[in-house]
Structure 1
C-alpha cells in the first residue's frame, strides 16, 4: 500500500492541466511490479513447494515474509528517507525488486528464497511510501482521486493479467521463469520512470511525525477496517491454489485468477469514477461483494460455474478496496494525510503477513475448506466498523468538510 504527500508544487507543469498519463502509467506499472511480486507465489505455490522440498503451507509463508519486510520498514523508511529526492528513491526501490526476483528465480534453497522475498518486501516498503504521493503531487487537488485510481490500476492488472500469466508460464516453463520475467519487467519500469516521471524534493520537516495522525478523528476506524479486510482477503488468496486443488479444480487456477482479476478491473473502474462522492456506499458494497464471493466459494463443492461466479464477485468487491481505503485515510487524516497513509501501509502489510500465517494454520489444522469461512468471520466486524464510522472515517456524501480534508 501507499502513502500520499498532498503538497502543492506549482512548479510542476503537469499540475496546470489534466492527468499526466505517461507518468501515471509508469507509476501504475511500478504498482503492477510490486503487486505481482507479492502475489505471484499464490499462482505457483505447489510447484515452488515441490522444488524447494517444503510443504505448501511453509511455501505460503513466502507471501508472509514479503509482507513482514514491508510492514517492518514502511514507517522507518518513510521517516528516514523523507528528505530524499523522490525519483531517485523510487528507482532504488525498483532496482531492489529486480535483484530480489532474480535471486528468487535462481535459488534452490528455501532459506535463501525466503531471504530474497523479505528483501523484496523491504523494496516494497520504499515503493509504497512513494507511489500515491507521486500521483497526488503531479495533479491539482480536484484530480488527486482520479490520479490515484489510475496508479492503483496496477493492482487489478497484476491480478487479472500478471498472476494468471505467471501461473501459465510457471506451468509450461517452470516457476523460476515467471520470476525472471518479473526481473525483466522491473528493469523496463526503471527506464520508463527515469524517462517519464518528474522528480520532486523530499519533505524532511515531516519526518518523525507519523503516529500523530492517530489522534485525528476517523483515522483509527479506517486503519481498523484496513487491518481486518486485508487479513480476510489474504487468508484465502494466498492459498487459493491449494483451495482449488481441494475442490478438484487445481488445473483451473490460472482461469479462476483471470476471472478474479478481470472483475477487479471493473471494480476499480467503478470506484475511480464514483469514490469522490460515494466513498461510504462503495466501501459497504465492496465488503458485501467479497463476503458473497467467499460464501459462494465455500458452498461451491467442486462446481466450476459456482467457483468462477464466486471469483467474479470476490474480484469485483476487492478491486477498488486499495483506492477506497487510501482515499478514506487521506480524507480522515487531513493535514496529516501522509502520516495516516504511512500507517495504512504498515497495517496493510501486517495483515498480509497475518493472513499468510493464519491461512497456513487453517490449512494444516482444519483443512482447505476452512479458508472461505474464515473470510466471512473476519468481514463481519469490518462491515460493522464501516457502518459505525458515519461521521468520521467513512462519512456520507462528499460535503465541504470531506472535500476540505481531501485537499488538505
Structure 2
C-alpha cells in the first residue's frame, strides 16, 4: 500500500472512531432531560446506555466473520454511512423505544467501524509502527469521548436535544464520501485476509485474558454513565453543561494517558501497565459518592480516565502480537473479539450499575465495584505468564 494512501486511510479510521465516540457521549448529559421528556428513571437510563452495547454484541461477530472472508472495504464504508443514518434516527426519536432502537443501531455501526479499522492497521502496518497507529485511533476515541458530553450538554441546554445531533449527522455524511473515495483506490488484493485456525485463536489464553481486561475496563467506564449524572443533579443541582464538562475530563485524561500506556507497555510490559492502571481504581471509585460538591469530583474524573487508559491501551497491540504468533492474518477476528468484549462490558456496566444504585445507593455500588476490581487483580498475574513481549508482566 502506498504511503499517501495509508495515511489517508488512517485519517479516515481515526475520524470515524472519533465521530462514533462523540455521538455515543452526546446522550450522557442529556439523561435527566430525556428521562423527564420520555418518562424513564435511573434504570431506564442504564437500559438506554446499555442498548448501544447490545447492538455492538449482536453485530460484531458477524462483522468479524465478514472481514475474514470478504475484506474490510464494505464494513468500513457501511459503518460510517450507517452512523450518519442512525444519528438522524436520534433526531426523529419521540419515544423511549425509538431512542433505544437508534442506540442499538449505533452500536451495530460502531462494530463495523472499529473492527474493520483496527484490522486494517494490524494488517497493513508493520509491527514496529502498529502501536503508534493504534495510539492515534485511541486518541480519536479520546477526543470524541471528550467532545461528546460537553457538546451534548451545552447544545441541548441552549438549543434543545434535536439540535445536538444535526451537526454530527452532517459530518458523518461527509466522512462517508471521503471513506469511499480512499477505499476504492485500494487494489482488490488488499481487501481480504486468508483464514486461519479460528478455534485455536478463540481459545488462546493470552487473547482471552486481554479480552477480559477490555471487558472489565468498559464495564467500569459504563457503570459511571447512568449513575453519576443523576447523582450530580440530585445531590448538587448540576445541569447538563456541568455534567458534560465533568465527563469530558475522563476523555482528556484518557487521551493524555494513552501515550503513557504505550510507553509503559514498552518499559514494563503490557500486563504490568494494566495492573498499574487498575489498582488505583479500588481507592478512587468510592470517593465519587463522598465528594462535598460537584466540582470536587473533577480530579476523580480525571484520575479515572488516566487509569482506564493505562488499563486498556496495551491490549490493542497485545492482541495483534498474539495473532502474529498464529497466522498473522486473522486480525478481523481478534478485533471483533475486542469489540465484543468491550460491548459486553458496556452492556453490563450501565445496566448493573443503574440497578444497584437504585436499589442500594451510589456509595455501596461503588464499593462493590472497587471490591470486584481488587478481586480481579490477582488474575493479571496469570496473564503475565503468557509468552510474548507485548503481554509480559
What TM-score bracket applies, with the shorter chain setting the length?
Answer: 0.7 to 0.9
| TM-score (normalised: structure 1) | 0.85
Question: How many Å separate the matches in 1 of 2:277 and 2:336?
Answer: 23
The 1:354–1:328 alpha-carbon spacing in structure 2 relative to 1, beyond 3 Å, is: same
Listed as ranges, the matches of 1:144-183 within 5 Å are 144-183=130-169
Work out whether residues 135 and 151 of structure 1, in 8 Å CA contact, stay in contact via their aligned partners in 2: no
Q: Is 1:94–2:80 an aligned residue pair? A: yes
Question: How many Å separate the matches in 2 of 1:229 and 1:265?
Answer: 15
TM-aligned CA deviation for residue 21 of structure 1? 4.2
Work out whether residues 155 and 163 of structure 2, in 8 Å CA contact, stay in contact via their aligned partners in 1: yes
List per-residue Cα deviations over 1:117-166 (Å, max 9, x = no partner): 11111112222211111222342221011111111212211122222122
Question: How many Å separate the matches in 2 of 1:183 and 1:365?
Answer: 37
TM-aligned CA deviation for residue 250 of structure 1? 2.1
Q: Is 1:269–2:259 an aligned residue pair? A: yes
Work out whether residues 269 and 320 of structure 1, in 8 Å CA contact, stay in contact via their aligned partners in 2: no
Q: Is 1:314–2:279 an aligned residue pair? A: no
**Gaps (5+ residues) in structure 2?**
none
Question: How many Å separate the matches in 2 of 1:314 and 1:63?
Answer: 19
**RMSD value over aligned CA atoms?**
2.6
List per-residue Cα deviations over 1:327-386 (Å, max 9, x = no partner): 232333432662333222212101111112102211321233344323312322332222
Residue matched to 2:2? 13
Work out whether residues 232 and 379 of structure 1, in 8 Å CA contact, stay in contact via their aligned partners in 2: no
Say which of 261, 269, 273 aligns to 1:282: 273
Please state whether the residue corresponding to 2:90 is helix, strand or coil: helix
The 1:283–1:89 alpha-carbon spacing in structure 2 relative to 1, beyond 3 Å, is: same
- State the aligned residue count: 382
Work out whether residues 229 and 382 of structure 1, in 8 Å CA contact, stay in contact via their aligned partners in 2: no
Residue matched to 2:284? 293
The 1:164–1:79 alpha-carbon spacing in structure 2 relative to 1, beyond 3 Å, is: same
Give the number of the structure whose residues are more often helix, by fraction.
2
Work out whether residues 149 and 245 of structure 2, in 8 Å CA contact, stay in contact via their aligned partners in 1: no
Q: Is 1:78–2:32 an aligned residue pair? A: no
Question: How many Å separate the matches in 2 of 1:259 and 1:353?
Answer: 22
Residue matched to 1:247? 235
Residue matched to 1:215? 203
The 1:233–1:76 alpha-carbon spacing in structure 2 relative to 1, beyond 3 Å, is: same
**Gaps (5+ residues) in structure 1?**
1-11, 396-400
Question: How many Å separate the matches in 2 of 1:351 and 1:185?
Answer: 28
Say which of 215, 224, 234 aligns to 1:227: 215
Of 261-270 and 312-321, deviating more is 312-321
TM-aligned CA deviation for residue 246 of structure 1? 3.9
Q: Is 1:359–2:353 an aligned residue pair? A: yes
The 1:91–1:379 alpha-carbon spacing in structure 2 relative to 1, beyond 3 Å, is: same
TM-aligned CA deviation for residue 81 of structure 1? 4.3
TM-aligned CA deviation for residue 274 of structure 1? 4.2
Work out whether residues 214 and 312 of structure 2, in 8 Å CA contact, stay in contact via their aligned partners in 1: no
List per-residue Cα deviations over 1:247-274 (Å, max 9, x = no partner): 3152321221232221111111212344
| TM-score (normalised: structure 2) | 0.88
